[in-house]
Structure 1
């Protein structure tokens, strides 16, 4: 029997994202999603089979406006930078969703389309075979790691302040680095790390 259409996927996904934004990933359950929508848990199962399907809806909804076209930038490294910035901008309002996107990266259509575009740019830059695999994995590893770090808080957050107070005799470099970290903006942190990765990639095809 086909599922009723009274509840649109976008409305369900938006409700799930609202829960994650408010209560974190641990707060998202089939029961909490149903309560957010004002229905019974059993009724929700008419629309999604389980939490895995609900999480995938969340990923697609958060990236629903992600531009996956090849950027107009004249240099391929700038194209990659633009593509990474597009993902970051799409997640700016819903950073707690980042772990779900990482977990669903191989089945979220928006992520797959973005990855295909990245591969197009890398191929046009001269990457092929194993080098293209390594380039993609390295870039995605940085992006995912940077987004996850950002979702956990800024460089000037509580954890950094704790490290800044470590005894200088035992951790002189960590203490000094932590104290300097509070002056680095999130944008500078993201762009600085990405620039390091892009310089490494450019060296592979120079």
Structure 2
């Protein structure tokens, strides 16, 4: 029986390394194994090279993840006139950003540690600031307003990413997971002494019936924007 010897001349040629190739491979790994598990070594293995080769293109994991975050944001489609007035477009922009980031595990963690200045992050910031100004937020408070909305995007994306992970792990639908969580909370509140926790008991019905998750997300964003408008001249 003949054997085929591994010959460098007959191997398929490796794709040349580049900054774009490194960042793309890292994003694919985030989707596959999760943000926390992605290391320089794992990225190098995915590219069939050594970790030292990556440092030609990025200085460390933090810089790589910042680039990965920005690449993910390229998926966010900016709203246009067909999406409605400035407020409808702002709500759409925020919702799309949450959806994109939530689809890439805990990648939104990157934005918790510093200002993101990648091309796509700046593209979203530019549009958000433009819409806020169009809505009447004065220039002195536009940066604070955008920061508040960014925090909402990050926290919402991380929450949704966690739900998506649990869904995959438990092989359950979102509705089934919500019902399970509601029942667990209901049983906990039921066991509490009413004299010590009167408000929890009084609101037990609403606390354990969260309703539609999309409606809840829309309500939270609506309250934030209402607050921004109310404080526009403060």
Q: Same fold (TM over 0.5)?
A: yes
- Name the CA distance, whole Å, in 2 between partners of 1:123 and 1:30: 41
Q: Deviations over 1:76-118 (max 9, x none)?
A: 2112112112313433531321212443543233122211111
Question: Do structure 1's residue 79 and structure 2's residue 89 form an aligned pair?
Answer: yes
Q: CA RMSD in A?
A: 2.9
Match of residue 185 from structure 2: 163
TM-score by length of 1: 0.79
**Counterparts of 1:157 and 1:55, CA distance in 2:** 35
Paired position in structure 1 for 2:224:
197
Any conservation in 1 of the 2:79–2:92 contact (CA below 8 Å)? no
Post-superposition Cα deviations, 1:3-27, rounded to whole Å, max 9, x if no partner, equal xx92133332232123222332221
What corresponds to 2:7 in structure 1? none
Q: What is the CA-CA distance between 1:55 and the residue it aligns to?
A: 0.6
Q: How does 1:87-102 map to 2 (within 5 A)?
A: 87-102=97-112
Q: What TM-score does the superposition give when structure 2 sets the normalisation length?
A: 0.71
Gaps in structure 1 of 5+ consecutive residues:
none
What is the total number of aligned residue pairs between the two structures?
200
Q: 1:55 aligns with which of 65, 79, 87?
A: 65
Which residue of 1 is the match for residue 124 of structure 2? 114
Structure 1 residues 149, 177: CA separation in 2 closer, same or farther (over 3 Å shift)?
farther
More divergent stretch after superposition (50-59 vs 162-171): 162-171
